[in-house]
Amino acid sequence: MHRINKEVMPQPEELRVKTLGVATIPSPLRLGAPLTGYVDDRTRIAFHIEQIDGQSPQEHCWFEAGGPREFLYFDPAQITAGIVTCGGLCPGLNNVVRSLVLELHHKYGVRRILGFRYGFEGMTRRGQEPLLLTPEIVAHIHQQGGSLLGQSRGKQDPSEIVDVLVERGVHVLFPVGGDGTLRGAHAIYQEAERRGLKIAVVGVPKTIDNDVPYVDRTFGFETAVEVARQAVDAAHVEALATHNGVGLVKLMGRDAGFIAAAATLASREVNFCLVPEVPFRLDGPRGLLAALETRLTQRGHAVIVVAEGCGAALLEGEGERDASGNLRYASADLDIGIHLRDAITLHFRERRIPLSLKYIDPSYMIRSVPANASDSIFCDALARHAVHAALAGKTDLVVGRWHRRFTHIPLTLVTSTHRRMDPTGELWFSVTEATGQQPMV
């Protein structure tokens, strides 16, 4: 996919990865030529890869490279690993859980792996008994959507979570989730550090919206775009079937429009793509309603794709919030899909212009499907790199990818900002080229 966000270049100290101590235990992987080798702990991935010929070299900052290390901090045979999935559902969760278990068990020899149930709540004393994960239990879960471990939203007391980790004898923890999960993971690390506990916390970034900063891709996004495209294509068929037919599709995108933009480009049948990063108006001579009326007059049908996060700015409502503190864009006062449906219907009724509008919201269908081939491969790679990092004693980090190379990113950096689409960048330019839409402000 296009890399179109403009992350601010971090300072070198912001990229410094924490370790629990000196790694002295030889890895059981026994890597070497001709397949692959260990990654030297000094290997770095440059923030910038472009340079204009003739100009002075750009100042660089460097991500620590991910990958297997020759020496480990933990003795795999003597430790317990924990896995938890948090936040909303996302294609690929089961793939990540399965690959974590298989890498830990078969490659490193970790024999006790606990799967905490229903998010961070399952890591408190109110939580259900964790699952003892084995290769047999996870053998087929990658063929299913959802999460074997379940999920939940909301903050939990990091002190109680660390108490439970100590009681369960957990040495390495793999939280799988988005912004809220990674903030929680950092709080767990801080509490463990405060107590002087040697617990590695290594996150796997999960957000269907692809909006984690300093990471060029998160798992589930490509599956989401694939299924979203099917919804957009269905809306196009419905729009073509009637005079003045309009297909309106609401897609995920709490604060970023990556899914809406990518589905628009994949389908090539969208006439108006609305995303949180690009302001638009409904009314007025240059607003969406006027542009839609012109489109129907000229072509007799139209397809509109809107990201859910457009509701916050357009409707100017505070709205309800979920347990993680995120606005509920499906609530009555912020549901942009319902609002657009009703506004378009009213506009054309008042002008006595015939209209046949079909509204499609495939959000939960998209979240619940199994990962496609591309995401399945990516989930496996993320999980393996997370295991490599944790057993080497790396902590307070998330495994990411930058310029198609796997990296270690401190949790403090990855939770310090948000990744958004650049309205002046390549991706949005491609969308406007595909749709032909003009600014609607």
pLDDT at 4: 40
Predicted TM-score (pTM) of this structure: 0.90
Residue 245: predicted pLDDT: 97
For the chain, give the number of residues. 441
pLDDT averaged over 10-residue windows placed end to end, the chain, 441 residues:
58 92 94 78 88 68 94 97 94 97 97 96 93 97 95 90 97 95 96 97 93 91 96 97 97 93 97 96 95 97 96 62 47 79 97 97 93 96 98 97 95 91 94 96 87
Sequence-separated contacts (24+) of 33-39 with Cβ below 8 Å = 38/67, 38/68, 38/69, 38/70, 39/65, 39/66, 39/67, 39/68, 39/69, 39/388
What's residue 49's pLDDT?
80
- List all residues 6 or more positions away from 179 whose beta carbon is below 8 Å from its beta carbon: 207, 212, 415, 418
| Domains parsed from the chain with CATH numbers | 12-219+371-414 (3.40.50.450), 222-368 (3.40.50.460)
Concerning whether 209 is annotated as a catalytic residue, the answer is yes
Determine contact, residues 393/74, Cβ cutoff 8 Å. Answer: yes
| DSSP track, 66-78 | PS--SEESS-GGG
Catalytic one among 53, 157, 209, 396? 209
